Each structure stands twice: as structure tokens, then as C-alpha cells.
Amino acid sequence: MNPDLSFILDGSLAYFSADDPDQRGAHDPSKTGFNFNQLELHAAASVDPFFRFEANIVFAQFGVEVEEAYLTTLALPGGLQARAGQFLTRFGRRNPTHPHSWDFLDQPLVLGKLFGGEGSRGMGLELSWLTPLPWYAELVVSASEAGGECCARSFFGGRDLGVHGPGDFVYTFALKQFWDPCATLGVSFGLSAQLGPNASGLDNRTLIVGADLFVRHQYAGTASRAALELTVEALLRARELPGRVAEDGGGFAEVRWQLDQEWALGLRHELVSGLEDDPLDPEWTGLRQRSAFVADFWPSHFSRLRLQLGADHRAWRDELGFIAMLGVEAVVGAHGAHSY
């Protein structure tokens, strides 16, 4: 009956050449100097043969929040599984994950702009089905609350207008697929969509669609765990606003080289578009690009040091912003395996 418990500490020392770095993640390093990104408490346990309980409670410098707390069924027939509670929606590849499992120190810009600093999450219900196809194919559908500037900014956002019918929820749909063409290669490909009401007017809706690709090559015949990974994710958003439909989007591509059990190198490039007269981001009027290089070092399985260098170009500004971040991560307690 004792749950698995772990604490994950994330801190950093950062430098931004721009006065307003406009980091979009709620737990990103966001200012020059020392940053306390978060302290996360993870708890998990089987309740009984029918349910599993999981929670992620985040301690920040100025408060505490329940990031996730949900039950997962363990005994539904026919490849079905359900979740209920507060959880990160399974839109795309990066959104359902936590900062300590990211390859970079900050959240991709497109997720912060479209979903919010905490990513897409909310109280709700999810149903998934593992299909009987000859490859891994899982269908996911969920309904969650549409309010919250932190995690539903493309929908009701900070103006929580309440629930008056089924149309006032955010609905997320996803297809998760995986293939292993050979013993050293794995390929994951997903499609996602999210539909719900926005706060710009009566019956106005927002649609977000996305695609994600992950390819991992594991070097055979070595004990070093050396691997080469590619992650690509793209999102498009269409919002009904008074008198028009606003369309924007963006994405990112990451390449990561795991040299051995202690060292890894990574590159990331991001592109996110902007709009004139956008009520959510009035200053984001053009294309924003951000590039980063990261070097990871694991002294052990329970700690990690990360050096990240980057450049940020916003088309509506003349200057190029430079970024340098040194992050430290430490885990104590139970440390479960990360998802593939």
C-alpha cells in the first residue's frame, strides 16, 4: 500500500541578452541570474486490481500546484483504458511529458503560445483503445475543461465562462503509432486534434491540429547505449474571431546524439508564426525563430547537468537575442522509466 515517491529538482543559471526574453514555459529559466524552475513530487501506486493512482505536485518559488492527479483503469476489456482526473492531454509527443524528461531546458515556443505555460491540461476524462492492428496503433479521445490561462489559452483561457453543455469542453483526439522495422530502429508517428470554445464571442470555436514524428536508431553491438534520435512536431491553429478566422502555427525539430551513458548532444530549431491584431499575443506580429545547442552530462542515473546555448530572432524586433543556460537536475526516490 506504500506509494512510489520521488522528488525531482530543477534549477538553472541563465543569461538573456534581451530585456524581455519572453520564455513561454511556466517552468522555463526566464530571467538572467539564478532560476528555481521547479521541485516536483511524483506519487504513484496501484489502488486495487482495477485502478492506478498517479499525481504530480509542483513546488515553485511562490506557490504549489497540483499539476496532475488522476486514476487509470487496469482491467477494462478489449484493449480499452480510461483516465479520470486532472492530466496533461495526449496531444502530440511533447505535451504529455514533464520537464525532467525533456532534452532541452525550456518548453517549445509553439506549445507555450498555443496551449499555455503548463501545456494542454485540465480536469477531464480520457478513453484510449489499443487497436488489434499488426503494428502498435492507439486511438485516444478526451474531454477536459476549457478554462485556464496556464493550459487552455486558445480556448476560454483566463476567462472561464463555465460549462453549460457538451460544447463547452475541449475535446482532444490522437492517433499514436509505432513500428520497429529492424532491431536497431524505432519509428513513432502521431496525429492529433483539439477542438473547443474560445472566449472571443458566442459559439466561436478553436481548432488545433498537429503531427509528430520520432525516429530512434540504437547502435548495435555496443554496451554504451549510444543512439541517434530525431523529433519533429508541427501544429496549426484556426480560431474563430469576430468577423474573421485567425490562422497561425509553428513547430520544432530536434536532433539528439546519445554518445554513451554519461554524455549527449542536441540541436533544436523552432519556427512559430504571428498575426496582426491577435488578441492573445498583440506584440507577436511576425515569424519567431529560436535555435539551441545542448550538452548533457549524467554523473549518475539520478542527476544531470545541462549546458544550453541559443539564439532567438523575433521578426518584429531588430536585435538578435542570445541565451546561455546551465541547468541542474536531481532525482531522489523511485525513478520510473520514461515513455519511448
Residues 131-152: pLDDT tens digits?
A: 999 999 999 999 999 999 999 9
pLDDT, one tens digit per residue, over 150-204 is 999 999 998 878 888 999 999 999 999 999 999 899 999 999 999 999 998 888 9
Three cell numbers at 149? Answer: 490561462
Q: Write down the pLDDT at residue 205.
A: 97
Check residue 185 and report its DSSP letter: E
State how far the Cα of 148 lies from the Cα of 195, in Å rounded to an integer: 15
Using a cut of 0.75, tell me whether the model's pTM lies above it.
yes
Nearest to 248 by CA among 269, 268, 274: 274
Dihedral over Cα of 104, 16, 59, 169: its sign: negative
Nearest to 10 by CA among 299, 296, 304: 304
Beta strands in the chain (DSSP E): 4-16, 33-46, 51-60, 63-73, 80-88, 121-130, 136-145, 169-182, 185-197, 205-218, 227-241, 244-258, 263-272, 288-300, 303-314, 320-333
pLDDT, one tens digit per residue, over 218-275 is 987 677 789 999 999 999 999 999 999 999 999 999 999 999 999 999 999 999 999 9
Domains, the chain, with CATH or none: 4-333 (2.40.160.10)
Nearest to 323 by CA among 11, 23, 2: 23
Q: Write down the pLDDT at residue 118.
A: 94
State how far the Cα of 31 lies from the Cα of 23, in Å rounded to an integer: 9
Pair 28, 107: CB distance under 8 Å: yes
Q: Is the pLDDT of residue 20 over 80?
A: yes
List, in sequence order, the alpha helices (H) in 52-170: 109-114
Nearest to 191 by CA among 96, 91, 59, 276: 91
Pair 9, 329: CB distance under 8 Å: yes
**pLDDT band with cut points at 50, 70 and 90 for residue 336:** low
Rg (the chain; Cα; Å): 20
**pLDDT band with cut points at 50, 70 and 90 for residue 318:** confident
Nearest to 228 by CA among 254, 198, 190: 254
Nearest to 158 by CA among 279, 66, 240, 57: 279
Three cell numbers at 316? Answer: 518584429
Three cell numbers at 43? Answer: 506519487
Q: Write down the pLDDT at residue 76.
A: 96
Q: Write down the pLDDT at residue 201.
A: 86
Q: Give the pLDDT mean for 306-330.
A: 95
Collect all residues with Cβ–Cβ distance below 8 Å to 212 and sequence separation of at least 6: 92, 93, 94, 188, 189, 190, 192, 231, 232, 233, 234
User: Which contacts qualify for 62-67: CB closer than 8 Å, 24 or more apart?
Assistant: 67/40, 67/98, 67/118, 67/121
Q: Give the pLDDT mean for 34-48.
A: 94
State how far the Cα of 23 lies from the Cα of 37, in Å rounded to an integer: 12
Q: Write down the pLDDT at residue 223.
A: 72
Pair 8, 43: CB distance under 8 Å: no
**pLDDT band with cut points at 50, 70 and 90 for residue 337:** low
